[in-house]
Structure 1
Amino acid sequence: MTRCLSTVVGLLALLCVFVAPVHARAAEEAPRRWALIVGENQGLPGEERLRFAEADARRMREVLQEVGTVPPERTVTLLGTDAATLREALTRFQARLSTEASSRDWLVLYISSHAGDGRLHLRGTELPMRELVDFLKGAPVGVGLLILDSCRSGIATRLKGLKPVAAPILMEAADLEGRVVISASGADEYAQESDALQGSYFTHHLAAGLRGAADVSRDGRVTLEEAYRYAYARTLESTLVSAGGLQRPTFRMDLRGRGELILSEPRQARGRLTLDVKAPGRWLVLSSESGALVAELEKGEGPTTLAVAPGAYRLLLRAEEGFLERSVTVPVNGSASVGGTPLEQAARSRLARKGGAGATLLLAVGPSLTSGIVAGLPSIAGLDVRLEREGRLGWGMDASGVGFAVRRGSGRRVTFRQTEVELRLNAGPQWKHGPWTFSGALEAGALAVFQGGLPFDETRFGLEPLALVSGGVRLGVRSGVSMQLSASVGGVVARRDSGVALVPRASASLMVGFAL
């Protein structure tokens, strides 16, 4: 027994002799992450002071440390700096990398500031972007990533040594080596800030993507391709109608190798929040304690998991009638999930309202009663047909449509017959509350009037312009079917024997609607 025990101990010891170096080599060869983060609000004299450049730098530092596997001891942060101070920091960082980094390590260099004409504008001084690219190319690491969130920073991606890449990126990478430059804007575009996001559009969407919003593969990791695709699409969408113009992030790279360049690993975060709703939707994640917006994201099909700090959060899902709100607490070293029938229905309702492939169409038909525009015919009845499109056209315009009406009546004092054909265009806001939809609209169109049976078999025809203000209420009674009551007031410019006159016009209709 003693001999057997001694043999086992000897074998274990021998195994340790062989295994220990293997573990040591594995630990030694594991790639490490480094980061240099720079944020400066103040540019050159005469340039408007930025509000969120330094806050964006702090946000990116938090993301890289929480999910980007960049430890604090290998992170250098400059908040408020001029060109000379940044040059000194680059020199010191280069010297440190030369002694501590290896060819397997990765480096992230993030800059948020004013820029123009190929230079960063830092507290009244300028630093050529060429120096950043040279630093990146000369760093003794395997992979280097430069992220510039500055106006007209796209010029950095035009500098020699990197290859242009279109928005759709296709990559294969594992043992990657090379350099990547991502800029928040094109060479002639503004990088814009948002008061609502409390930061720049690009950095906010890139940070949300790294936290997990960009993880389309649902593997708990975010690749360079996923992060850039998400930030590009969301920045483009956010600035589509902004006063600063369209903002298109640009991308250049020189990568060699096969596999994937993993930028973040949300699955390793201390806190994780899952939006467990299958349908796509727009979500807001806010800190309950500070009220700060943590992420505003467009979630795709299926559940999405975000890496967040442990704590209490308010979640808002955009629905037809506004927002649905839920509160949740993310535990330390744990996860929380939010879903359920109300949120799922709201997400699907919102998707239907956006229309997926097109907006919702409604066909409504019913009788109407309208005030007359000639003496002897105080009112005239007819049939209204309306085709409405529910889909946002712009601020305050949630629906638009076209109306067609045919009416017939007979004069009382003087015998005659009158036929009216009316065509109207309309647009206006809508408000939804449960099965009820309240609407208002401005309408404009033309009224064709035919009169016959006059003395001496005379016939008359007139084409008159009209303008109306309308309001209505619609009640959904079953799937795709609704009842609608509407009324309008306005005027018609009608011809008279002595010229033209503005004749008041009022109308009411009761209609049945069918969703198409």
Structure 2
Amino acid sequence: MRRTQGLGVRMLTVLRQVAAERVPHRWALGLGLRLLGVLIAVTGPIRVAAAEEAPRRWALVVGENQGLAGEERLRFAEADAQRMREVLQEVGTVPPERTVTLLGADAATLREALKGLQARLAVEASSRDWLLLYVSSHAGDGSLHLRGTELPMRELVDFLKGAPVGVGLLILDSCRSGLATRLKGLKPVAAPVTMEASDLEGRVVISASGADEYAQESDALQGSFFTHHLAAGLRGAADASRDGRVTLEEAYRYAYARTLESTLVSPGGVQRPTFRMDLRGRGELVLSEPNQARGRLTLDVKTPGRWLVVASASGALVAELEKGEGPTTLAVAPGAYRLLLRADEGYLERSVRVPLNGTVSVGGTPLEEAARLRLARKGGAGSSLLLAVGPSLTSGLVAGLSSIAGLDVRLVREGRLFSGVDTSSLGLGVRRGTGSGVAFQQTELELRLGAGPHWKHGAWTFSGALEAGALAVFQSRIPDEEARFGLEPLALVTGGVRLDVRSRLSMLLNASAGGVMAKRDSGTALVPRASASLMVGYAL
């Protein structure tokens, strides 16, 4: 702009010199007039462009826990919508006045919100703006399930395509929402997505799951896997370029990889987010700018590691992230936080306070060492497989054999089965003993299944379970009698404690009490049964 102003001043000087006949050549007058015309042509558009408003960002965020009759009520859909709204306003540069939020809505309410937003966009929006629609709810058969009503996903896609904005982005965190990416008008994109797309125009649809997959919630994350990882990515975890901005490509790559990893061993099956787009132009679509946030938290540890960021006041999990190589900066609200890094001896914890309009950095030798020795639990937050082996001692079933020793092998899975039950186990025990008084040998083979809750406290894990199974009993070397065999049902109540002692290694102490329906000469009888085992575990 300064160069064009200087050019205009020089042209006026030339014209004055010509008028005063200081420049004798007549062609100078024509040249000056032509250059002045060029100046006007150049500066005019610059003034117009400067007067244009910057691109604006709009958002419609919807969360609904209740689906159709007979569908299990979701626990975190509305909380996920609130989480996404906070992220969009804090780091996505979407102001509150251009954010529409529906927490609890049926199809008619959502249609009214779309109608109102369409009318407002027609008056206020421009082709340089972009719009984001986010929905977390039940879905199936190509429709959203909202408080006993259905809204075809086609309506959302059509609304997005018809909105008077340059870029439109639809994010669906719903079961089988991948059907929306099969609708006509958009191109399928296989993960990982790459693009050259800011002078961009077009539409993008991202679904949390495939067309035949479940979008799953996590008690540990207090939200859905996909929305949690997408929100953490937008706060800065996905900023692979370390430039303080998160692009569409970075956000999708991060959310896809973390959601896939978190659901590998989930009871609901693997969940693969899907992506379709129709974008034109070159550059990058920036979804968030964590470097512009009011508060920033830097995990200044070079080694990769899995971190938990928890708000101290509410106890809410702000982010659970797999930090890559080098420091990572997250945009968070100013306040107090607890940071937990999985270490050899459990969790290393630090408390920090993020200042208003500032950055706090957390690092140091203990955290760096913890990152190197961290326990990498595959399968996502709150889900792990453990194989344990060790000796056991069990009460006997017959006279002359008060106890019997053996070896126990257990496979334990920590991961939610249903409400209140997040641990399941498969146990196999082999025992052998010799009777006193009347000499005989007894061999037992025990198989049992169990399920129950567990509680974590640092490196310690406490669990309880109801177990049921079968006990095969072999008696041999009985004087003047043939060998005997019996197959008997059993039921037990089990309690256990586990201590993580080294990377992937732990010690387990279990105790059980219950009964066995044992055969007797006169029929069957309920025989009390108690056992204890001390085992070494290895995280798979």
Fold similarity call, TM over 0.5 = yes
| Distance change in 2, residues 1:423/1:23 (3 Å) | farther
Judged with a 3 Å threshold, the aligned counterparts in structure 2 of structure 1 residues 445 and 280 are, in CA distance, closer, same or farther, namely: farther
Residue 57 of structure 2: aligned partner: 35
Letter in 2 for 1:452: R
Cross-structure match for 1:406: 432
| Residue 364 (1) aligns with residue 386 (2) | no
Q: Compared with structure 1, are the counterparts of its residues 259 and 397 closer, same or farther at alpha carbon in structure 2 (3 Å cutoff)?
A: same
Deviates more, 1:251-260 or 1:188-197: 188-197
Structure 1 residue 335, shift from structure 2 partner: 0.9
Per-residue deviation, 1:308: 2.1
8 Å Cα contact 2:386-2:537 kept in structure 1: no
Q: Does the residue aligned with 1:173 lie in a helix, a strand or coil?
A: coil
Which stretch of the first structure deviates more once superposed, 326-335 or 201-210?
201-210
Shift of 1:173: 3.3
Asked if residue 267 in structure 1 is aligned to residue 291 in structure 2, the reply is yes
Residue 332 (structure 1) aligned to one of 314, 337, 356 = 356
Classify the secondary structure of the residue corresponding to 2:98: strand
Q: Which residue of 2 aligns with 1:463?
A: 486
> Quick check: 1:109 aligned with 2:121?
no
Asked if 1:306 corresponds to 2:330, the answer is yes
Choose the corresponding residue for 1:392, options 404, 410, 414.
Answer: 414
Contact between 1:353 and 1:390, CA under 8 Å: does it hold in 2? Answer: no
Hey, what's the Cα distance between the residues in 1 that align with 2:461 and 2:297? 34
What's the secondary structure of 1:212's corresponding residue? helix
The answer as to 2:118 corresponding to 1:93 is no
Residue 252 of structure 2 aligns to a residue whose secondary structure is helix
What do the CA deviations read for 1:210-256 (whole angstroms, capped 9, x no partner)?
11133344443222123224445666788999999997654321123
Alpha-carbon distance between aligned partners in 1 of 2:458 and 2:317, rounded to the nearest angstrom: 30
* Structure 1 residues 117-516: aligned runs within 5 Å: 133=157, 136-137=160-161, 142-147=166-171, 156-173=180-197, 175-183=199-207, 203-232=227-256, 249-276=273-300, 278-281=303-306, 283-286=308-311, 288=313, 291=314, 293=316, 295-302=318-325, 303-309=327-333, 311-315=334-338, 317=340, 326-339=350-363, 351-352=375-376, 354=378, 359-365=385-391, 368=393, 370-375=394-399, 377-379=400-402, 382=405, 384-392=406-414, 394=416, 395-397=421-423, 400-409=426-435, 411-412=436-437, 414=438, 416-425=439-448, 427=450, 442=467, 444-452=469-477, 454-455=479-480, 458-465=481-488, 467=490, 468-470=492-494, 488-507=512-531, 513=536
Between the two proteins, the alignment pairs up a number of residues equal to 485
Whichever residue aligns with residue 401 of structure 1, its letter is G
Question: Within 2, Cα distance between the matches of 1:322 and 1:359?
Answer: 16
TM-score by length of 1: 0.69
Distance 2:291 2:485 in 1: 72
Residue in 2 that maps onto 1:5: none
Which shows bigger deviation, 223-232 or 47-56? 47-56
User: 1:39 touches 1:56 (CA, 8 Å); kept in 2?
Assistant: no
Shift of 1:452: 2.0
Letter in 2 for 1:304: T
Confirm or deny: 8 A CA contact 1:136 1:179 kept in the other structure. yes
1: distance between equivalents of 2:227 and 2:316?
13
Please give the alpha-carbon distance, in whole angstroms, between the structure 1 residues aligned to 2:152 and 2:273. Answer: 20
Unaligned runs of 5+ in 1: 1-9
TM-score scaled by length of structure 2: 0.66
- Note the residue ranges of structure 2 that are not aligned, 5 or more in a row: 11-38, 103-108
The yes-or-no answer on 1:68 pairing with 2:95 is no
Q: How much has 1:334 moved relative to structure 2?
A: 2.1
Does the CA-based 8 Å contact 1:315-1:327 persist in structure 2?
Answer: yes
C-alpha displacement of 1:154: 5.4
TM alignment of 1:8-27, pairs within 5 A: none
C-alpha offsets along residues 107-140 of structure 1, whole Å, 9 cap, x if unaligned? 1232548798878899999998667655644566
Percent identity, aligned pairs only, is: 58
Deviation string for 1:360-417 (max 9, x for gaps)? Answer: 4333247x4x544334x143554x22233454154242654322222223x42x4x33
Q: SS state of the match for residue 351, structure 1? A: coil
